[in-house]
Amino acid sequence: MSEIVIKEQKAAEGKERSSSEESAVPNFSVFWHPACDKHEVPHHPEQPDRVNYMMDALKLEFHDFEGDIFREAPRGKDEHIVLFHTQAHLDDFNKKCTRASAYYKKTKKVNYQPYDSDTAVMWATGEAAYRACGAMTASIDALFLDPTDPGAIDTAYCCTRPPGHHAERGKAQGFCFLNNAAIGAKYAQATYGESHGIRRVAVLDFDVHHGNGTEEGFMHDESCFYGSTHEKDNYPGTGKDKSPFVGEMAKSEVDRRIVNRYLNGGDGCLKNPNKSSRAEFRQKWPEIVSEMQRFRPDFVIFSSGFDAHSSDPLGNCWLEDEDFHWATTVVLEALTEMDKEEGRTVDATDRAKRCRKAVGVLEGGYDLEAISSSAVQHVRALLKLPCTSETPAEAAPLQIDIAGLTRRKEEKEKEKEKEEEEEEEEETDDENLTSFEKSERLERELAERTGSLIENVEGTDDALAAVIESLSLSMSPTPTQVVPHRAESTEKNEKEDLLAATSTAELSDENVLCP
Ligand SMILES: [Zn+2]
């Protein structure tokens, strides 16, 4: 096995590593391409800076590792894409790409060729998608090089976009055009099946959304395993959790090969006060890994989406950086266990008897800082380096007085009812008021709304009432723009505001976001 040595430069810079890190770590590479930050739909959460932020973080973390760490991906090949996708889908995608880029060349204006309300092709989409796919196939090639080859690696991460796991064999959707992980699975089998014994491949997906595209492609393919944890009721609504009818109780063999587990989302207050998704993840992910172990894959691909992170605007789950490290480690430990059972070694002469390998590919994740720090921990786990992230105590699940909240909510409703009754009474009295009394009351209302007594407001009562009405409108919440794939984002943003605005001890009624 080829090894790399961490330069002493790091210590000279004051960035000390633990003694366990100073030992040799696996050879690895991050595959990426500058074209991946060119695909852009304005105001879209799947934005170019996702890969830019992540690359900066990965370069900072791994800059002193020897070897060809950051590699530019080649362009993916059609013949590899159609190992998973239908020719019709690829033709349609290329047609849209050609149209959009021809329009751009001619007019220098951006034209969008839509698939659905949040998935569209523009002039740079084709190159980005082909490079993302090329990163996956190139990383697999490097993984299966002979260990003595200078380009050989033990693990890899594809820091690329657009993502892929919602793309079905014949359909682009949910920000995804080409399913990089699924293409990788079929490519590894087709290219290294005979030579390296790569016959069974598992895709493990911890993105907050269900990878319906991967599942659709693998459903009738007995050589592939798909395991996913995802937020219940989030996009795209597929991936039913069939527990407890899994494991030995499974109703069909497919249920042991396509294994879905729900995480319950929630905003950390009434809807899901204990932010249970983190505990659920720790409980359910090993169930998936256990079924994967039973399946005995020869190769593993992580669909590494980081949108189950507590900071993510599209997900409502509560994972932290270290959870992605843990999830990766659990899978790698299972692979090591299987290798030991089967007597596989790193450099066995029989290539089918070499240790299993794993690669990660970016899926979702929309908080730029969270995806960067999470990706660093994911890659550290792929390298079998210890986790360097620990969630501060203040981010731990909130302890909320539910009974108190409910009581205060009821009290508030009663207060509101009382106010409404009083308003009705005032309206009735209004008819009996003199013109002077009406003006006085309107002025009082205006002062209450603005917080200060407004004097010398000139004009008729109607004008004064209009001022009050406009003030009332300007104080109302702004209507929220709803975009299908990010329908949950408002709640999440509010959740973040809530967390920022409250201590762990008390929540006021104004902060309760759940109906
Ligand atoms: Zn996602």
User: Residues 251-260, buried b or exposed e (16+ Cβ, 10 A)?
Assistant: eeeebbbbbb
User: Residues 229-241, buried b or exposed e (16+ Cβ, 10 A)?
Assistant: bbbbebbbebbeb
Rounded to an integer, the average pLDDT of 480-493 is 37
- Where are the strands (E) in 23-133, listed by range? 28-32, 70-72, 113-116, 119-121
Q: Are strands 155-158 and 357-362 parallel, antiparallel or unpaired?
A: parallel
User: Which candidate, 133, 53, 44, places its Cα nearest to that of 85?
Assistant: 133
- More confidently predicted of 344 and 496: 344
- More confidently predicted of 9 and 153: 153
Q: How far apart are CA 461 and CA 465, in angstroms?
A: 6
User: Which candidate, 305, 171, 176, places its Cα nearest to that of 229?
Assistant: 305
Ligand 1 centroid to 480 CA: how many Å?
A: 21
Ligand 1 centroid to 61 CA: how many Å?
A: 25
Q: How far apart are CA 455 and CA 139, in angstroms?
A: 73
Ligand 1 centroid to 105 CA: how many Å?
A: 32
Tokens read off for 437: 């009394």
The whole-number pLDDT of residue 222 equals 97
Q: How far apart are CA 307 and CA 316, in angstroms?
A: 9
Ligand 1 centroid to 412 CA: how many Å?
A: 37
Ligand 1 centroid to 305 CA: how many Å?
A: 6
Name the residues annotated as catalytic: 166
The whole-number pLDDT of residue 273 equals 74
The whole-number pLDDT of residue 436 equals 55
The whole-number pLDDT of residue 476 equals 32
- pLDDT tens-digit readout, 418-460: 777 777 766 555 555 555 565 566 555 544 544 433 333 334 4
3 state DSSP class of 225: strand
- More confidently predicted of 367 and 5: 367
- pLDDT tens-digit readout, 181-231: 999 999 999 999 999 999 999 999 999 999 999 999 999 999 999 999 999
**Mean pLDDT of the chain, nearest integer:** 81
The whole-number pLDDT of residue 275 equals 83
Ligand 1 centroid to 306 CA: how many Å?
A: 7
The whole-number pLDDT of residue 15 equals 39
Give the residue carrying structure tokens 């070694």. Answer: 345
- pLDDT tens-digit readout, 76-108: 999 999 999 999 999 999 999 999 999 999 999
Tell me, what DSSP letter sits at residue 358?
Answer: E
Q: How far apart are CA 96 and CA 99, in angstroms?
A: 5
Q: How far apart are CA 18 and CA 487, in angstroms?
A: 43
Please report the sign of the dihedral spanned by the C-alpha atoms of residue 306, residue 309, residue 312, residue 315. Answer: positive
Tokens read off for 203: 């895709």
Tokens read off for 396: 């731990």
User: Which candidate, 379, 212, 391, 389, places its Cα nearest to that of 304?
Assistant: 379
DSSP-assigned beta bridge partners for residue 421: none
pLDDT band at 251 (very low <50, low <70, confident <90, very high): confident
Give the residue carrying structure tokens 């959870």. Answer: 323
Ligand 1 centroid to 260 CA: how many Å?
A: 15
Greatest alpha-carbon pair distance for the chain in Å reads 102
Ligand 1 centroid to 370 CA: how many Å?
A: 14
Q: How many CB atoms lie within 10 A of CB 76?
A: 22
Q: How far apart are CA 65 and CA 21, in angstroms?
A: 12
Q: How far apart are CA 163 and CA 45, in angstroms?
A: 12
**Entry field: residues in the chain:** 515
Q: Is the pTM above the cut of 0.85?
A: no
CA distances from 438 to 427, 429, 465 (A): 11, 10, 10
Ligand 1 centroid to 304 CA: how many Å?
A: 9
Tokens read off for 265: 């989302």
Ligand 1 centroid to 415 CA: how many Å?
A: 42
User: Which candidate, 201, 198, 191, 210, places its Cα nearest to that of 295?
Assistant: 201
Please report the sign of the dihedral spanned by the C-alpha atoms of residue 173, residue 178, residue 184, residue 189. Answer: positive
